[in-house]
Amino acid sequence: MRLGVLDIGSNTGHLLVVDAHGGAAPSPASSYKQPLRLAEHLDDTGAVSAAGIAALTEFVGRALALAEDKGCEEIYAFATSAVRDAVNGDAVLDHVHEHTGARVRVLAGEDEARLTFLAVRRWFGWSSGRLGVFDIGGGSLEVAGGSAEAPDVAFSLPLGAGRLARAYFAEGSPDDDRLRELRRSIRAEIARDAGTLLRGGVLDHAVATSKTFRSLSRICGAAPSSEGLHVRRLLRADDLEGWLPKLVAMTREEIAELPGVSPDRAHQVVAGAFVASAVFDIFDLTELEICPWALREGILLDRLDKLSLLD
């Protein structure tokens, strides 16, 4: 069957259309994405602005039309951190439903971490042993770990690259004192919940997903996407630490010219690098393997599992 997943993220709206069959990997058939930057469309009260609502509604309408053109039987629409945290999140989704007919589900942060973990477990399999998964989104950092298909630890922290860029880099590169404040706040936030994962034992396999981690790995020398999904890609702690002061010193325009960085996300790279560096240090990791599957694939796999139980 042909299914669609409509992902309303803090940075980007993304429709993924796949051909899905029980017992097989979902096969991508079509993809449509658009920068929305909802995390940066929040006003001083924490509400999504009128411009943000309009951009989101327009994107959902176009995505639904494309999904219909591509023959989707079902569409699963969900929103993550930006809408989840917005004080007018319900009103935003009511507006989208009124104008497009789409019912968009808000994913809890723990569910986001859990479903991303499912996708990573299916990609790498049981040989990964105790698996740890880290995902830097636009609005939040998701962390999950465990030895089974479902994680025994899953949590979300307000440390997305877009959120931090808005707070610390809105007026350009901050001074040294402000950067130290950023570094301290990120590490304190992660350390507060790190024990829930660390108490489970040493990770056999530490994995990263998301555009931020992929961009950082590419900057640090990982293979480009043109070499395919199955090339092993790593982000090493030493490489990132070597790049971090260089990234801090670069302009957004210079960062946008680096491999793996899209112009619409260049302003978030430094903030994301500070989060990634903290993950390495606090969880005592030397490297993270990049997984091409993440939340969208987790949503699809979870749905296929539920359908198979009904057969």
What is the structure's pLDDT at 311? 54
**Mean pLDDT calculated for residue range 100-128:** 97
Reply yes or no on whether the pLDDT at 309 is more than 70.
no
Identify the sign of the CA torsion 48, 186, 218, 243: positive
The pTM of the full predicted model, rounded to 2 decimals, is 0.95
- How crowded is residue 257: how many other Cβ atoms within 10 Å of its Cβ? 11
Task: Tell me which residue of 1, 8, 14 sits closest to 66, measured CA to CA.
Answer: 14
The residue that leads in pLDDT, 170 or 289, is 289
Measured at the CA of 163, the angle between CA 252 and CA 247, to 5 degrees, comes to: 30
Reply yes or no on whether the pLDDT at 37 is more than 80.
yes
Task: Tell me which residue of 131, 183, 181, 186 sits closest to 158, measured CA to CA.
Answer: 186
Distance between CA 150 and CA 235 in Å, rounded?
A: 25
11-15, 104-108, 163-167, 170-174: range with lowest mean pLDDT = 170-174
pLDDT in tens, 52-109: 999 999 999 999 999 999 999 999 999 999 999 999 999 999 999 999 999 999 999 9
**Mean pLDDT calculated for residue range 6-20:** 94
pLDDT > 70 in the chain, percent: 99
- How crowded is residue 129: how many other Cβ atoms within 10 Å of its Cβ? 12
- At residue 24 the predicted structure's pLDDT band, cuts being 50, 70 and 90, is confident
What is the structure's pLDDT at 310? 57
**How far is C-alpha 103 from the chain's CA centre?**
21
Token couple for 139: 């609005």
Start-end of CATH 3.30.420.40 domains in the chain = 2-107
Start-end of CATH 3.30.420.150 domains in the chain = 109-295
What is the structure's pLDDT at 21? 78
Reply yes or no on whether the pLDDT at 238 is more than 80.
yes
Is domain 109-295 annotated with CATH 3.30.420.150?
Answer: yes
The CATH homologous superfamily of the domain defined by 2-107 = ATPase, nucleotide binding domain (3.30.420.40)
